[in-house]
A = this chain, B = another copy of it.
Amino acid sequence: MGTANLNAGIVGLGRMGRRHADNLARRIPGVALVAACSPEGDERAYARDVLGVARVHARYEDLLADKGVDAVFIVTPNTIHPEQIIAAMRAGKHVFCEKPLALDVESCLAVEAEAAKHANLKVMIGYTRRFDASYQDARRKIDEGLIGTPFLVRSETTDMNDPSGFFVRFAPKSGGIFVDMGVHDVDVARWMLGSPKPQRVFATGTIAVHKGLAECGDVDNGVAICEFEGGKTACFYNSRTMAHGHETQSEVIGTAGRLVVGRKGRLTQVEIADAHGIRTETTPTFYERFAEAFVRELAHFADCVRHDRAPALTLHDATEATRIGIALRTSLVERRVVEL
């Protein structure tokens, strides 16, 4: 490859953390996972024993002090993303952080401000769809003019119902359906429409299954409209109650054509014909749908660091996704149109 390796340190080895750690350990060319950090003993054991990570830390400060670490990969609770990103930059580390950047706009801006002081460091938030081959193909076709001028995005992220209601307990800290799930669709819309400025949003929703969400003002099915400058528009649908699996589907409508990405989220290329009709199985979770995109996302970030290139996705993109997501939540909760 001709370029020095990137030495990676990960913080957070929960469900998503382990996936990122596995990828860093085995599948990202030019990357060595040399350090890991978690307050949880079993997470540290996983890094040490399963992945063979050399240096395992209980405290984030120790990871940041680790001179052998070039870049920190943050996969921790959303609420502490901003402070951890800032601390990593101050320690001279490049930073990859799982989405969202933060749960409020002020924190987003604080991270942006800090990053401005570290022009030599790469900082990227993991909006995975930007690295999915199909979404990238759609974006490329738009650039080539295949659909004329894109003016409307309709995007949805819908999860299979989890009867255990795990996410209900998680809801108070998730930021709500639009901030937790919807930001992905918001980011897709901004990306496909050419990053126009948002102007107005309207959102509503309903609790179809999980009554417990009412307590924190959240819903399990939400729909929303976002108006951008120049007549560009986006519609969103997020659900946590699908019977058949996870689907992420985005439609981009232009003056000369339409693209749809991800309709009928098939798990495999097997089609079954039996007493139930002709059918395909659906990806149970987002992870089966985006497994390769998670690899490509890390590989992209690593390449940016190793070759000193700007990541495809800026911190400002992440700020905007959060800003619009929060406006959607406000519209839902306050039952009004929100101007941006």
Contact = CB atoms under 8 A, between A and B. Distances in A.
Interface string A234-274: 01010101111100000001011111111110111111111
A116 interface: no
A146 B253 CA distance: 28
A204 B221 contact: no
Contact of A262 (B152, B237, B269): B269
B273 A242 contact: yes
Interface string A146-185: 1111011010000000000000000000000000000000
A258 B242 contact: yes
A216 interface: no
Contact of A235 (B51, B223, B263): B223
Q: Interface residue tally of chain A, by bracket?
A: 35 or more
A232 interface: yes
Interface string A178-212: 00000000000000000000001010111111000
Interface string A315-338: 000000000000000000001110
A104 interface: no
Given A225-B202, A256-B243, A272 B277 contact: yes
Contacts of A56: none
Contacts of A233: 204-206, 221, 223
Given A29-B26, A152-B223, A223-B225, A134 B270 contact: yes
Contact of A152 (B209, B221, B227, B257): B221
A336 to B, nearest CB: 7
A239 B152 CA distance: 11
Contacts of A259: 270-273
Which interface residue of A243, A270, A337 has the most chain B CB atoms within 10 A? A270
Nearest to A257: B274
Contact of A202 (B137, B141, B202, B274): B202
A309 interface: no
Contacts of A26: 29
A271 B281 contact: no
A244 B278 contact: yes
A149 B209 CA distance: 10
Interface of A: 1, 26-27, 29, 50-52, 133-134, 137-138, 141, 146-149, 151-152, 154, 200, 202, 204-209, 221, 223-225, 227, 231-233, 235, 237, 239, 241-245, 253, 255-264, 266-282, 335-337
